[in-house]
Amino acid sequence: MSSLNLDDFTDLIERPDGGVRRDAETRRQRQIVPAGALGRLDELGEWLAAARGTVPVRPVERPRVVLFAGDHGIAELGVSARPAGGAEQLVRAVLEGASPVSVLARRLEVPVRVVDMGLDCEPDALPKDVTRHRVRRGSGRIDVEDALTLEEAEAALLAGAAVADEEADSGTDLVVLGDVSVGGTTPAAVLIAALCGTDASVVTGRGGVAIDDLAWMRKCATIRDALRRARPVLGDQLQLLAAVGGADLAAMTGFLLQCAVRKLPVILDGVVAAACALVAQRVAFRAPDWWLAGHDSGEPGQAKALDRMALEPLLEQGVKVGEGVGALLALPLVRAAAALAAELPEKPGHETEPEGEGEAAQ
């Protein structure tokens, strides 16, 4: 029996400051570029002002990519184009600067952090700062067994919350959240289908490396079987993560919840992050107010989850590689919205207020 009370997150999470958002909207009306002329950038700048609690909005100066890593036993069934247990090599590529997210992060000057929660390799195969939060080696085959014990699910969720605290305490002011996994899109689809009450075929995509039709049918059947195991525990989100999630997914859920507690904005990447966000929303209904959907990956499960949370993707590039790449591509857009909101001059006759000393500056 778990001693963790997830209801505590509901009590601790507040919405972004509505008064600050109204002040940001008023300030936008006074600027020389007509309101609405910048499209969604207006709304994005106002959201960021409310999340950061200041008008004019402060620039995003210390963003960070945080990637949770794990291997999933379900990959043994051939539901992924990558070999089962192969996430270690993906992590190595990130650490060595040879992955897509590493290339973009260098260009954008954003540090990348990898957190191993359940890779199928020896802990000493990777640096200690990567593996120190690991809960177990790999996750169970969710069509026939639990991904985790309840105790492991609790430990993973708390580890994710601890990582959020570490980032907030270190001065990170915005997180780009992604995953590095093999088989991770399958439990993500199960969670989304279970929480949205849909059939397996509605949420089954082809993953980061597109699988063929036969593998897609195997994946769909696997998700259907796992859904039978998920439905009896739908009322308990920790049990749900233990039954059909995984250590990395449980950690991402805890991370998202604690980021909302700490008022730390997050850009979500693909279907795995969306699934964890949907679980977190079930725990604390105000939590999604602190998140942005970075992009539309084309995965049907992601679209279903984002629609349920009323989150509209910032970009649509069909990026399926994972690793936070699609969300990281959205970061310049967020920074641009903040710059325009803060730096555009006001119409003649309106006095411009100093940076950080607006109507609701805190």
| Residue 331 lies inside a defined structural domain of this protein | yes
204 located within any domain: yes
Please provide residue 168's backbone torsions phi and psi, each rounded to the nearest 5 degrees.
-60, -40
At 67 the three-state DSSP class reads: strand
Structural domain that includes position 297:
63-336
Q: What is the pLDDT of residues 297-310, one digit of tens each?
A: 989 999 999 999 99
In a domain, 357, yes or no: no
Q: Has residue 305 been placed in a domain?
A: yes
Rounded to whole angstroms, the Cα distance separating 176 from 255 reads 12
Joined together, the tokens standing for residue 129 give 């700062």
Q: How many CA atoms lie within 13 A of 352 on its CB side?
A: 12
Please state, in angstroms and rounded to a whole number, the distance separating the CA atoms of residues 205 and 72: 17
pLDDT value at 280 more than 60: yes
Distant-in-sequence, close-in-space partners of 78: CB < 8 Å, separation ≥ 6:
215, 218
**Rounded mean pLDDT of 245-256?**
98
pLDDT at 353 > cutoff 50: no
Q: What is the pLDDT of residue 354?
A: 45
**What's the pLDDT tens digit per position in 12-27?**
999 999 999 999 999 9
Q: What is the pTM of this model?
A: 0.93
99 phi-psi bin (left φ>0, alpha ψ -120 to 50, beta other): beta
Residue 35 lies in a domain: no
Residues 6+ apart with CB under 8 A from 162: 133, 258
The confidence score (pLDDT) of residue 64 equals: 98
CB contact at 8 A, 52 and 36: no
Residue 314, domain member (yes or no): yes
Which of 110-114, 150-154, 196-200 has the weakest average pLDDT? 196-200
| Phi, psi angles (nearest 5°) of residue 274 | -65, -40
- Catalytic annotation, residues: 323
- Mean pLDDT check: name the lowest of 279-283, 297-301, 349-353: 349-353
pLDDT tens-place string over residues 32-82:
999 889 999 999 999 999 999 999 999 999 999 999 999 999 999 888 888
CATH code of the domain containing 162: 3.40.50.10210
Asked if residue 176 is part of any domain, the answer here is: yes
Percent of the chain with pLDDT over 90: 83
123 confidence band (pLDDT: 50, 70, 90): confident
- Distance of alpha carbon 202 from the chain centroid: 21
37 occurs within a structural domain: no
pLDDT for 1:
53
Domain tally, the chain: 1
Residue-level pLDDT at 357:
41
Return mean pLDDT, the chain: 92
* pLDDT tens for each residue of 174-229: 999 999 999 999 999 999 999 999 999 899 887 666 778 888 888 999 999 999 99
Q: What is the pLDDT of residue 350?
A: 57
